[in-house]
Structure 1
C-alpha cells in the first residue's frame, strides 16, 4: 500500500447519486489479472457512449487534463451496492488518492481505508457548493492533509477536519495494511506468548 500523508490536486466531479460498485467497475472485469491494473476499467461503461464503444467526451473523467487529477468529488452514497473490493482497486490503480463526498457505502468506505484511498466526508451543501466552484474554476485545487487531519478547499470554503479511524489513519500514513501493522508488534507479541507459556506451561503441551 502506498503511503499517504498529503495530496494536493485538481478535482474531478463525478455525477450520480448512489453510484454503485458495478458502475465503478463492471463485474465482468473482476476476472482480469490485477497485476495488469484495474485502472483501465474505472467507470468503464458510464464513461462510454455504449458498453464497449468510444469514450464519451462529456463524461468528466474524459475531459482534457482530467487524468492528472488524484482527487474525485462524488455524490451521496458513493460505492453502494456489492462488496467488491475491485471498485477500490480500480480507483487506486487509476491514480486516485482521495474522494470527497457526503457519504459512502459502508463496505466500500472500509475497503478504501484498507487500500490507502482516503474518503473524506463533507456536508452535502458544501459538496454542492464545491462542485459549482469547480465548474467556474476548473483549475482550482484541493489539499487533503491526512497528517494534519484536515482538508483545505479552494476559494472561501476554508479548512475542514478529516476524521477517519485512528488505526486506519496510522496505517495509511505509514503505507501499511492491517497485517503489516500487526507485524510491527511482532516483538511484543512474541514476548507475551513466551511469558504466557512460562506462567501456564500446560498451554505448550
Structure 2
C-alpha cells in the first residue's frame, strides 16, 4: 500500500530538459544485479548526478542545496518517456520525490507513478516555465504547495493553478490505495455482476 497523499508543501527542483527518458532516470546498467527495491535511489539520474570518477556533479541541481532534499520536481516536456521500466519510478520514490509537475509525461511512466503513489500534475507549458523561473529566482528558497484535495498547485508567490486528475487515481492517492485495493473495494458489485451474468449467459460460465 502506498503512502497517502493529501497536501505537500516542499522544496521543488526544476529539471527542465526535454525528453528525460526512463534510462536517464535509472540506467539499465545500474539495474543489472541491482534492481531490488530499496537500492535504486542512489542511482537515480546517475548520468547527470555523478562525474566519471563517481563523485557528485556540482552542476546537477539535485546535488545542490536546498534542492538536494527536494520532494517535488518541476519537469520539462515529455518527462519519463522511453521504456516501460517501473524501476524509474521506484528510483525517484527512493530519492524522496512525491510529486512531479510538468506539461506532459510518458504514458507508461504516468501510469506507473500513480500505481506507486507519486502524484503527477499536468499544467500548461507556460505555467511550468513560470514556476521553474520563480523557483530559480528564489534559489530554491520558494516552496511549492500541491493540494490534491483542492486540486491546486500554489507557486512560491502564492499564485494558485488548478489541475485535473482522473477521479479514481485521485481517490487512490488520497487513501494510499493501489489498483488491486481500489478494485477490491467494489468486490460486492463485482460478485453481483458475476451472479447476474451467470444467469443471463450460463454458457459463458460453464465449467465443463
Q: Residue 200 of structure 1: CA displacement?
A: 6.3
- Partner of 2:51 in structure 1? 49
- Partner of 1:29 in structure 2? 30
**Does residue 66 of structure 1 match 2:67?**
yes
Distance 1:193 1:134, change over 3 A: same
How many residue pairs get aligned? The number is 203
* Correspondences of 1:85-124 after superposition (within 5 Å): 85-124=86-125
**Does residue 141 of structure 1 match 2:105?**
no
* Correspondences of 1:174-193 after superposition (within 5 Å): 174-193=175-194
Q: Residue 196 of structure 1: CA displacement?
A: 4.6
Return the alpha-carbon distance in structure 1 between the equivalents of residues 107 and 197 of structure 2: 38
- Partner of 2:161 in structure 1? 160
Distance 1:201 1:75, change over 3 A: closer
Contact between 1:146 and 1:162, CA under 8 Å: does it hold in 2?
no
- Partner of 1:125 in structure 2? 126
Q: Residue 71 of structure 1: CA displacement?
A: 0.3
Q: Residue 190 of structure 1: CA displacement?
A: 2.8
Q: Residue 68 of structure 1: CA displacement?
A: 2.1
Return the alpha-carbon distance in structure 1 between the equivalents of residues 130 and 101 of structure 2: 13
Return the alpha-carbon distance in structure 1 between the equivalents of residues 21 and 201 of structure 2: 51
**RMSD of aligned C-alpha atoms?**
1.9
Scaled by the length of structure 2, the TM-score of the pair is 0.88
Q: Please, which runs of 5 or more residues in structure 1 have no aligned partner?
A: none
Contact between 1:19 and 1:80, CA under 8 Å: does it hold in 2?
yes
Return the alpha-carbon distance in structure 1 between the equivalents of residues 61 and 30 of structure 2: 22
Cα offsets for 1:68-115 (capped at 9, x unmatched) = 221011111111111111111111121101111121112211211211
Contact between 1:21 and 1:84, CA under 8 Å: does it hold in 2?
yes
- Partner of 1:19 in structure 2? 20
Contact between 1:21 and 1:81, CA under 8 Å: does it hold in 2?
yes
Cα offsets for 1:114-161 (capped at 9, x unmatched) = 1111111222222222222112212101111111111111215x1111
- Partner of 1:172 in structure 2? 173
Return the alpha-carbon distance in structure 2 between the equivalents of residues 134 and 85 of structure 1: 29
Q: Please, which runs of 5 or more residues in structure 2 have no aligned partner?
A: none
